[in-house]
C-alpha cells in the first residue's frame, strides 16, 4: 500500500481511483463495509482502491477546546487500511487554512483534477468542506459535470444502534472492551515501546512488561484479559494487564500499562509491541498488604487465562505500518 502524505501539497500522486473519504478513526466494522465495497469495485474496474483521510482529526482544529481522543495512531490506521485492501491512502493535512476550503473547491481541485476519481463512496451522513457545505448531493451534482459517480453506504448497526467511533470511545472509557471489540471487529489495542519499570512485579513473583503507549485513549482503570505481540516476534502471547495507578504500591497518580505475560520471561526492553485488550476482569483497587495483592494477582492470572480460552478469535493487526511516500 502506498501512503501519500500531505496529498493536497504534493505535485503528483496516483490517479484514476475508486475512492472513499472519511476520518477512518478506528477502522470499525461500519467503516470496513465501505472499504470492502471500494476494494471490490476497484478489482472489478481495474482501478486503484483509495482512501482519503485526514490528519489530525478535523475536530482537533474545529473544536480545539474539546479535543477528540482518537482510537488509532497513524501507524495503526495505515496498517488497518493496508489490511483492508487499499492500494493507496491520501493523507490530507487538516489545518486551519484547509478547514476554510469550500466544498466545491475540494471536489474540483482535489478529487477530480488531482485524483481523477471515477467513483466515490461515503457514509450516508457524510458532510465536508467549509461550514459543512458539501454532502452526497453535492458530490453527485458535481460528478455529473466531472464524470464521476458518488454513492452513499448505509450505516452498520449493532444491538439497535449505529456503529460509530464515538460509541466505541464511550465503551473503552467505561472499560467495556467486549463491546468495543465487537464494534471494531477486533480487540482494541495499544501500541508503544516496552519500557523499564521499577522491577517490583518481579520482586512480587509476577514480572511485568511496561508499555509506554503511543495511544491517547486508555480504558478505565482495571485488570484486563489481554494478549501481546512484540515487534521482533510473530507469536501472540496471553497476558493479564493492569491499567491504573497501582494504589497498593504507590501514592502518586501516574497511570501505567503493565502486563504479566504468561509463560514468557525474555528481555524485550526497547522493542515495539502491540497489546490487545479483550475483557475487563475487575476494577483496580487498593489492598491492605502485599500478601493480599500477590494472592489477587495469582487469581487474576488464572481468570485471564480462562477468559482468553473462551474469547472469540477476533482479527488482530500487527504494529508495523505501510510504506510512506
Average pLDDT, rounded, for the chain: 89
117 close to 109: Cβ distance less than 8 angstroms? no
The per-residue pLDDT for 13 is 92
Q: What is the mean pLDDT of residues 161-177?
A: 95
Q: What is the mean pLDDT of residues 27-55?
A: 96
CA dihedral 44, 46, 48, 51 (to 10 degrees): -10
Q: What does the buried/exposed string (b/e) look like for 24-40 if buried means 16 or more CB atoms within 10 Å of the residue's CB?
A: bbbbbbbbbbbbebbbe
Q: What is the DSSP string of 39-63?
A: HHHHHHHT-EEEEEEEES-HHHHH-
Q: What does the buried/exposed string (b/e) look like for 103-124 if buried means 16 or more CB atoms within 10 Å of the residue's CB?
A: beebbeebbbebbbbbbbbbbe
| Domain range list for the chain | 2-155, 181-310
Least confident window among 27-41, 148-162, 219-233, 238-252: 238-252
CATH superfamily name and code, 181-310: Riboflavin kinase-like (2.40.30.30)
Q: Do domains 2-155 and 181-310 have the same CATH topology?
A: no
The per-residue pLDDT for 85 is 96
Q: What is the mean pLDDT of residues 293-317?
A: 78
We find that the CATH architecture of domain 2-155 is 3-Layer(aba) Sandwich (3.40)
- CA 222 to chain centroid, in Å, comes to 21
Sequence-ordered list of residues with C-beta below 8 angstroms from that of 131, at least 6 positions apart, any chain: none
46 close to 17: Cβ distance less than 8 angstroms? no
More confident residue, 310 or 202: 310
Q: What is the mean pLDDT of residues 286-294?
A: 80
CA distances from 80 to 77, 149, 185, 276 (A): 5, 26, 11, 14
Q: What is the mean pLDDT of residues 112-123?
A: 96
* Structure confidence at residue 247 as a pLDDT band (50, 70, 90): low
313 pLDDT exceeds 90? no
The per-residue pLDDT for 202 is 58
Using CA atoms, how far apart are residues 92 and 268, in angstroms rounded to an integer?
35
CA distances from 102 to 52, 54, 120, 127 (A): 17, 16, 18, 12
197 pLDDT exceeds 80? no
* Short-list 214, 278, 192, CA closest to 240: 278
Using CA atoms, how far apart are residues 212 and 247, in angstroms rounded to an integer?
19
pLDDT tens-digit map of 250-262 = 666 788 899 999 9
Angle at 69 between CA 68 and CA 74, to 5 degrees: 110
Q: What is the mean pLDDT of residues 142-163?
A: 93
Using CA atoms, how far apart are residues 49 and 139, in angstroms rounded to an integer?
18
Using CA atoms, how far apart are residues 313 and 316, in angstroms rounded to an integer?
9
Angle at 287 between CA 283 and CA 288, to 5 degrees: 160
The per-residue pLDDT for 194 is 93
> What are residue 212's DSSP bridge partners?
193
Q: What is the mean pLDDT of residues 130-153?
A: 95
The per-residue pLDDT for 317 is 42
215 pLDDT exceeds 90? yes
Q: Record the pTM.
A: 0.87
307 close to 279: Cβ distance less than 8 angstroms? yes
Alpha helices of 84-151 — where are they, by DSSP H?
103-105, 136-146
* Structure confidence at residue 198 as a pLDDT band (50, 70, 90): low
The per-residue pLDDT for 224 is 96
* Short-list 39, 51, 59, 45, CA closest to 4: 51
Q: What is the mean pLDDT of residues 36-49?
A: 97
Amino acid at each position: 500500500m502506498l501512503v501519500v502524505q500531505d496529498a493536497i501539497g504534493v505535485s503528483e500522486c496516483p490517479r484514476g481511483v475508486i475512492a472513499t473519504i472519511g476520518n477512518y478513526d478506528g477502522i470499525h466494522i461500519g467503516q470496513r463495509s465501505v472499504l470492502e465495497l471500494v476494494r471490490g469495485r476497484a478489482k472489478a474496474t481495474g482501478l486503484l482502491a483509495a482512501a482519503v483521510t485526514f490528519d489530525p482529526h478535523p475536530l482537533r482544529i474545529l473544536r480545539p477546546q474539546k479535543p477528540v481522543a482518537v482510537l488509532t495512531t497513524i501507524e495503526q490506521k495505515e496498517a488497518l487500511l493496508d489490511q483492508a485492501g487499499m492500494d493507496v491512502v491520501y493523507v490530507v493535512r487538516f489545518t486551519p487554512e484547509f478547514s476554510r476550503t469550500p466544498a466545491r473547491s475540494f471536489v474540483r481541485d482535489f478529487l477530480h483534477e488531482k485524483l481523477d476519481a471515477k467513483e466515490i463512496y461515503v457514509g450516508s451522513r457524510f458532510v465536508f468542506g467549509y461550514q459543512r457545505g458539501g454532502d452526497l448531493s453535492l458530490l453527485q451534482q458535481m460528478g455529473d459535470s466531472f464524470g464521476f459517480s458518488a454513492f452513499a453506504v448505509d450505516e452498520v448497526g449493532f444491538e439497535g444502534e449505529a456503529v460509530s467511533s464515538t460509541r466505541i470511545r464511550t465503551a473503552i472509557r467505561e472499560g467495556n472492551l467486549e463491546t468495543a471489540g465487537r464494534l471494531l471487529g477486533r480487540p482494541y489495542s495499544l501500541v508503544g515501546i516496552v519500557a523499564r519499570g521499577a522491577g517490583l512485579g518481579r520482586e512480587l513473583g509476577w514480572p511485568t512488561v511496561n508499555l509506554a503507549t503511543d495511544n491517547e485513549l486508555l480504558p478505565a482503570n482495571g485488570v484486563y484479559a489481554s494478549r501481546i505481540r512484540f515487534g521482533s516476534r510473530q507469536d501472540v502471547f496471553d497476558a493479564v494487564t493492569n491499567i491504573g495507578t497501582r494504589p497498593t504500591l504507590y501514592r502518586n497518580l501516574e497511570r501505567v500499562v503493565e502486563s504479566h505475560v504468561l509463560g514468557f520471561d525474555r528481555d524485550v526492553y526497547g522493542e515495539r509491541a502491540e497489546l490487545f485488550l479483550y475483557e475487563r476482569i475487575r476494577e483496580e483497587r487498593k489492598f491492605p498488604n502485599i500478601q493480599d495483592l500477590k494472592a489477587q494477582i495469582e487469581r487474576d492470572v488464572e481468570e485471564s487465562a480462562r477468559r482468553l480460552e473462551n474469547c472469540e478469535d477476533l482479527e488482530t493487526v500487527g504494529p508495523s505500518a505501510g510504506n510512506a511516500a
